[in-house]
Structure 1
């Protein structure tokens, strides 16, 4: 088999072209979204260009670049090496779960929830190849952590960025507004980790063939990551994608072949389906009749709406009806829990984890978590 590496990188090991070990997460959601899109095509026909305009290509393009870079980091062997060192310094499952979720929460407030998952979920998956760990449970806790942590800052997630400009608050003022809700979510996150991560010793799996670390590929991926984030910040998406994909085409084509293209299709179809759902006259009429201008009604309306159309579209849809922006911000933040559609981060976490029955495990944990967080946060607001 021919190697995909160019002379600028060290020669690939014999198993370099083999797929990284993982289990498929399945594409059931992809087919459901595709069926819904076809149904909308018959019920509400529109021109092809109108369909394309439903997709937020900035988000899809950003995810494509980050997925490619993540694959480059995985194939560099750095995650395997880091996982070995982490396991050597961690004594039990609870300690590991607390470390991973705390890191996810802090990172998400600084570099957004999606980027945090791209950094941590692949590491967690590699940890599970080296030790007997409940991978699905750990990834679900990380998804809860990034949804909670990202709610604190204006730059943590897209809905906060939108609401920050709408409120006119300063950076610190917005954080102060969100802090009570975030503290409630983080408190329950610690409780969840404590209950779901018992202090059982971590059992290592039989030592496998050591993975060679390829520092040049790691360095290339690191440089591309920094450059791509800068390109996204400057709104140079196409240029950033051209550099990322061009570099991997030259030096490591296997990276691009291993990108989870199905995840990108799922995200694009989510925009197509959910935006058309929000545009339905019946939906607009129903929402317009709700007494949700302010207070706890606005808060619960944001939570419920997020369960069906995700929290970012819910924010945009409800903004015209809700005048209490702090209640709306708290509601869409808590609304990221519960149903997997509540937040785009949930889908990204499960797809990156690539575990069977991930949806079932997610809802087993996330729905009770939504209930206790929603009730606690509303009591805090009423108090």
Structure 2
């Protein structure tokens, strides 16, 4: 019973998605429809999860993070979190950097502040690329976007929010710190790093439409026959959550006849809905009702700031921190929400001005 309650608590968004899909199907007396484009997005996301998990298991990310330990950790680790998130998603970046941060030889309150900075950093920086976070992957493929246009659309928001976060980190106290020897001695599996690194380059080729999507089957097949541990570590609940929300949005779009045609309203709705149901489902829901992908893209990325549920990355960092410093939970939540809501409203105002 304890395991079941833990799964429900950890994967609450999946169970919410399944519930609203079932309820909407019963209410509208229809079966949810999953389109070819929906399946294409799931294939791309699954492929990407396999690649990033393979790179993570190779020890490459920890080795990279180790070199960022000296000098001002607040600036360097905040910067590292953001840079990693641009390429391997905000979730993976936090799973890499936060455990290292928790092992630093500095007071717990400073660790708390650094984890919050890292969380805000990945939310701002991951917005830049189509593969920086799950909602970007969805929007990129749902609207059949061009890579250059995608970057141009989101670049101002990225520059503004990321520079603001780095500015806060730069102003924080400078202090030499070190990571524990256990972390420093983690072995790098060079062969695995090269293989999954090659898969990542191939994935970029798919994003740029150089390679067909069918080539995405190679990394999962490799993992199936040569590296099954990677497949066991994939976040299948994330994929199932996407699938459930695809069904829910198909039910809703068939019953509701309205569209979001105002850029400012689309941005505002997507940002505030993200505060309640998180930015990934907000993107899945609103995409059915608008062609204004730029406003939606900016809105759901702004929505990553604000409440703890605004982004799944926020919840990941909080859980990791809470597991080690449970006595600071209340202080963490207060500090996080003060900083996060400040960034939410400032970024929202900026995004509205440039939209």
- What TM-score do you get using the length of structure 1 for normalisation? 0.65
Which residue of the partner structure matches residue 142 of structure 1? 121
User: Aligned residue for 1:71?
Assistant: 53
How far 1:313 sits from its partner (Å)? 4.7
Q: Return the offset for 1:228.
A: 3.3
Does residue 317 of the first structure (1) align with residue 309 of the second (2)? Answer: no
Gaps of 5+ in 2: 1-7, 106-110, 131-135, 324-328
Offset, 1:200? 4.8
For the structure 1 residues 78 and 299, does the alpha-carbon distance in structure 2 shift closer, same or farther, using more than 3 Å as the test? closer
Tell me which residue corresponds to 1:266: 241
Matched, 1:367 2:346: no
* Structure 2 residue matching 1:86: 3-state secondary structure: coil
Query: 2:197 matched to which residue of 1?
Result: 222
Q: Deviations over 1:9-35 (max 9, x none)?
A: xxxxxxxxxxxxxxx992122222222
> Which of 228, 237, 243 is the aligned partner of 1:253?
228
Task: Give 1:72 shift.
Answer: 1.8
Judging changes above 3 Å, is the alpha-carbon distance between structure 1 residues 72 and 227 closer, same or farther for their aligned structure 2 residues?
same
CA distance in 1, matches of 2:235, 2:320: 14
Distance, in Å, in 2 between the alignment partners of 1:41 and 1:116 is 32
1:245 deviation in Å? 1.8
Name the CA shift for 1:266/1:80 in 2 (closer, same or farther; >3 Å): same
Structure 1 counterpart SS, 2:188: coil
Alignment pair present for 1:120 and 2:99 = no
Aligned partners of 1:225 and 1:170: how far apart in 2? 16
Matched residue SS, 2:179: coil
Cα-to-partner distance string for 1:98-118 (whole Å, 9 max, x where unaligned)? 4225525xx73xx6xxx4437
TM-aligned CA distance change 1:221 to 1:366, over 3 Å = same
Going from structure 1 to structure 2, the CA distance change for 1:230 and 1:266 (only over 3 Å counts) comes to same
Contact 2:21 2:245 in 1 (8 A): no
For structure 1, the 5+ residue unaligned runs are: 1-23
* SS state at 2:34 partner: helix
Count of equivalent residues: 323
Task: Measure how far apart 1:75 and its partner are.
Answer: 2.3
- What displacement does 1:340 show? 6.7
Match of 1:16 in 2: none
Map 1:273-352 onto structure 2 (within 5 A): 273-281=248-256, 284-285=257-258, 293=262, 299-301=267-269, 303-304=271-272, 307=275, 310-311=282-283, 313-315=285-287, 317-319=289-291, 331=299, 334-338=302-306, 346-347=311-312
Structure 1 residues 141 and 337: CA distance shift in structure 2, 3 A: closer
Q: 1:199 to 1:217 in 2, by over 3 A?
A: same
Distance in structure 2 (CA, Å) of the matches to 1:340 and 1:277: 26
Q: Which has the higher helix share?
A: 2
Q: State the distance in 1 between where 2:25 and 2:13 align.
A: 18
CA distance in 1 between counterparts of 2:184 and 2:271 reads 47
Asked whether 1:99 is paired with 2:79, we answer yes
Matched with 1:18 is none
CA distance in 2, matches of 1:124, 1:186: 17
Measure the CA separation in 2 of the matches of 1:234 and 1:25: 41
Alpha-carbon distance in 2 for matches of 1:265, 1:173: 26
1:177-196 matches, cutoff 5 A = 181-193=157-169
CA contact (8 A) 2:75 2:170 kept: no
**TM-score of the pair, normalised by structure 2:** 0.69
Matched, 1:237 2:213: yes
Query: Which deviates the most, 77-86 or 349-358?
Result: 349-358
1:94 and 1:139 map into 2 onto residues whose CA distance is 9
Distance 1:231 1:333, change over 3 A: closer
Contact 1:315 1:332 in 2 (8 A): no
Q: CA deviation at 1:255?
A: 1.5
